Amino acid sequence: MHSSDLKIQGTAYLKAKTIENRIVSVTSRHKNENIAGLQIADLIVSPIGRFILGKQNIYPSFGVIERKLRRDEKGAYKGVGLVVLPKK
Protein backbone atom coordinates (compact mmCIF):
# COMPACT_ATOMS: atom_id res chain seq x y z
CA MET A 1 0.00 0.00 0.00
CA HIS A 2 1.36 3.39 -0.95
CA SER A 3 1.13 6.44 1.32
CA SER A 4 -1.28 8.10 -1.12
CA ASP A 5 -3.63 5.09 -0.71
CA LEU A 6 -3.54 5.58 3.06
CA LYS A 7 -4.42 9.25 2.63
CA ILE A 8 -7.46 8.29 0.52
CA GLN A 9 -8.68 5.10 2.23
CA GLY A 10 -7.34 5.33 5.77
CA THR A 11 -6.95 2.16 7.82
CA ALA A 12 -8.97 0.23 10.36
CA TYR A 13 -7.20 2.30 13.02
CA LEU A 14 -7.00 5.79 11.49
CA LYS A 15 -9.27 7.85 9.28
CA ALA A 16 -7.89 9.03 5.95
CA LYS A 17 -8.05 12.69 7.06
CA THR A 18 -5.94 11.96 10.16
CA ILE A 19 -3.28 10.27 8.03
CA GLU A 20 -3.37 13.08 5.47
CA ASN A 21 -2.78 15.63 8.24
CA ARG A 22 0.15 13.68 9.73
CA ILE A 23 2.07 12.44 6.67
CA VAL A 24 3.71 15.47 5.15
CA SER A 25 5.91 13.64 2.66
CA VAL A 26 7.43 10.25 1.93
CA THR A 27 10.93 10.07 0.50
CA SER A 28 12.83 7.08 -0.81
CA ARG A 29 16.55 6.89 -0.14
CA HIS A 30 19.08 4.67 -1.89
CA LYS A 31 20.51 1.89 0.27
CA ASN A 32 24.11 2.81 -0.57
CA GLU A 33 23.67 6.17 1.20
CA ASN A 34 24.30 4.20 4.41
CA ILE A 35 21.97 6.19 6.67
CA ALA A 36 22.12 4.94 10.28
CA GLY A 37 18.36 5.14 10.90
CA LEU A 38 17.65 3.11 7.77
CA GLN A 39 20.20 0.49 8.81
CA ILE A 40 18.47 0.13 12.19
CA ALA A 41 15.07 -0.12 10.51
CA ASP A 42 16.44 -2.82 8.19
CA LEU A 43 17.80 -4.78 11.17
CA ILE A 44 14.29 -4.83 12.63
CA VAL A 45 12.24 -5.31 9.47
CA SER A 46 14.27 -8.11 7.85
CA PRO A 47 13.75 -10.71 10.61
CA ILE A 48 10.06 -9.78 10.92
CA GLY A 49 9.58 -10.05 7.15
CA ARG A 50 11.21 -13.48 7.05
CA PHE A 51 8.95 -14.60 9.90
CA ILE A 52 5.80 -13.33 8.15
CA LEU A 53 6.80 -14.97 4.85
CA GLY A 54 7.54 -18.27 6.61
CA LYS A 55 11.17 -18.28 5.53
CA GLN A 56 13.96 -19.75 7.58
CA ASN A 57 14.86 -17.27 10.29
CA ILE A 58 18.57 -16.68 9.85
CA TYR A 59 18.48 -13.68 12.17
CA PRO A 60 18.93 -14.47 15.86
CA SER A 61 17.67 -10.94 16.57
CA PHE A 62 14.06 -11.97 15.85
CA GLY A 63 13.79 -13.45 19.33
CA VAL A 64 14.77 -10.08 20.82
CA ILE A 65 12.29 -8.24 18.61
CA GLU A 66 9.53 -10.75 19.31
CA ARG A 67 9.90 -10.31 23.08
CA LYS A 68 9.42 -6.54 22.72
CA LEU A 69 6.19 -6.63 20.71
CA ARG A 70 3.06 -5.29 22.41
CA ARG A 71 0.72 -8.08 23.55
CA ASP A 72 -2.91 -8.52 24.51
CA GLU A 73 -4.10 -9.76 27.90
CA LYS A 74 -3.49 -13.38 26.80
CA GLY A 75 0.07 -12.66 25.72
CA ALA A 76 -0.57 -12.85 21.95
CA TYR A 77 1.17 -10.28 19.76
CA LYS A 78 -0.26 -11.15 16.34
CA GLY A 79 -2.82 -8.51 15.43
CA VAL A 80 -1.75 -6.39 18.40
CA GLY A 81 1.99 -5.64 18.35
CA LEU A 82 2.49 -7.20 14.93
CA VAL A 83 -0.16 -6.21 12.40
CA VAL A 84 0.28 -7.42 8.81
CA LEU A 85 -1.42 -5.32 6.13
CA PRO A 86 -3.36 -5.82 4.00
CA LYS A 87 -5.29 -8.31 6.10
CA LYS A 88 -6.39 -11.40 4.22
**Same domain, yes or no: 43 and 65:** yes
- Alpha carbon separation from 25 to 9, 20, 22, 36 (Å, rounded): 17, 10, 9, 20
In sequence order, what are the residues at sequence separation of 6 or more whose Cβ sits closer than 8 angstroms to the Cβ of residue 42? none
**Same domain, yes or no: 27 and 47:** no
Residue 85 to residue 47: CA distance in whole angstroms: 17
Domain that includes residue 39, residue range: 34-72+82-88
**Same domain, yes or no: 50 and 87:** yes
- 15 part of a folded domain: yes
Nearest to 22 by CA among 35, 36, 10, 34: 10
Q: Which tens digit of pLDDT belongs to each residue from 31-86?
A: 788 889 888 888 888 899 888 888 887 777 888 999 999 999 999 999 899 988 77
pTM (2 d.p.)? 0.60
The count of structural domains within the chain is 2
**Same domain, yes or no: 26 and 50:** no
